[in-house]
Amino acid sequence: MKCTTTQHPFHVNNVQGIPGIFGDFFCFVFWKNFHSPLGENPVRDFILVAIMESYNLARLEARWLSRRGKHMFSTNMKSLTGFCLPAVNFTLNTYCKKSAFILLIFLYIISSVQAQSSSPYQFSKNKTLALTLGSIAFSVGGQLTQNTVKPLIEADRLGLDRMNIPAFERSVSYNWRPKVAKASDWVFMGAVLLPGTLLAFKPIRQDIGKPIILGIQTLTIGYGITGFTKALVRRNRPFTFIQNSGDPLLIEKQLERDSRFSFFSGHTSLTAASAFMGAKMYADYYPQSSARPWVWAGAAILPAVVGYMRVRSGKHFISDVIAGYLVGGAVGILVPHLQKAR
C-alpha cells in the first residue's frame, strides 16, 4: 500500500483490513507530527512506534527514527520500544488485532492533542481521556442493558391494544414499510459520517485531534443515553400492533428484542447529534462565516428527514422521533460547547 500524498513518500507493506482502509489517512496524520522533536511527547512517540511496528510498517518507522537519529532521546526511545513491543505484538496477535489497532489510534490522538492559539477548543489531556473513555464505557453499558430485555412472546404480541396508544399517533401503528426502514439506515449512516467533510477545511484539518475526539464523545454519549432509555422504557414499536398480517418477516420482527425499543428513536437521536455537532464545530471555527445559517438549517433538516422515514417505516411513533431529535440535538451542541476555550 502506498501513501499517495506526495509530501510523505513512504511505502508501507503488509497492511490489511482496517489499517489497509485507513492507511493513507494515518500516514498523513503521522507525517504532520514527524516534524516535532522526538522526546517532546514521549507517550505519543511510543504509541506511534507501537502502531507502526505492530503492523510491520518497518520502512515508515525507520524513516521516522532516522530523521531523529542525532537526538539524544533516540537511543532511549528505540530501547524502550525494543523492550516493550514484543508484549504489544503478542497482545495484538493473541487477542483482537483490529480492536487493539483502533485503541492505539485513539490513544495516539489523545496524546497528540496540543493547545493551539487558533483552536476554538481547549482540552486537558487527563480530563479529555477520562471523559472519552467514560463516554465509551457509558455507550457500552447502554448496549449491555438493552441485551437484558426479554423479547415479546406470542401471547404478548396478540394481546397488544391500539387504544393504549395516544390518539395523535395511533395511526402510525398500521405502518410497516421495510424498504423505507432500509433507506433510513443508509441516510442515517451517511449523516453520522457527514461531519467528516469538515476536514476539507484547513484550520479544522490542522486541529484534527480535537474534532475527532469531540465526535467520539458526542456519538458515544448519545448512544449511551439512547440505549439506557430504550432498555428502561421498553415501548413497543408501532409495527408490533399489526395483527393477522400473514407476513412471516413481520411476525419474526415482532418477536425480536428490538421490537421493544421504540422510545426514543436512536436513528433520529444520533443523526441529530452528529449533524448539530458538525454545525456547532463549523460555527466555532468560522464564527464570521456567512454560510453559518445554511449549515445550521441543514443540520436541522437532516434528522427531521430521518425521523420522518422512521415513522413511515413503522419503526417509531411521532413522539419517539421528537424526543430523539431534542436529545440528540442537545448532545451535539453541548459536547463541543462545554469544551470551548474560555
For residues 222 and 269, the answer to whether their CB atoms sit within 8 Å is yes
Higher pLDDT, 123 or 304: 304
DSSP-assigned beta bridge partners for residue 11: 2
Q: What is the pLDDT of residues 30-82, one digit of tens each?
A: 444 444 444 455 545 555 555 554 444 444 545 545 554 444 334 444 444 44
**Residue 179 in grid coordinates:** 424498504
Assign 1 a pLDDT band (cuts: 50, 70, 90).
very low
Sequence-distant (6+) residues with CB within 8 A of 81 are 46, 49, 50, 53
Most confident of 42-56, 99-113, 149-163: 149-163
Question: Stretch 85-96: mean pLDDT, rounded?
Answer: 43
- For 216, other C-beta atoms within 10 Å of its C-beta total 20
Q: What is the pLDDT of residues 117-155, one digit of tens each?
A: 578 998 888 888 889 889 999 999 999 999 999 999 988
Q: What is the pLDDT of residues 219-234, one digit of tens each?
A: 999 999 999 999 999 9
Read off the pTM. Answer: 0.71
For residues 20 and 52, the answer to whether their CB atoms sit within 8 Å is no
Question: What is the pLDDT, as a whole number, of residue 110?
Answer: 53
Give the separation between CA 122 and CA 324, rounded to whole angstroms: 29
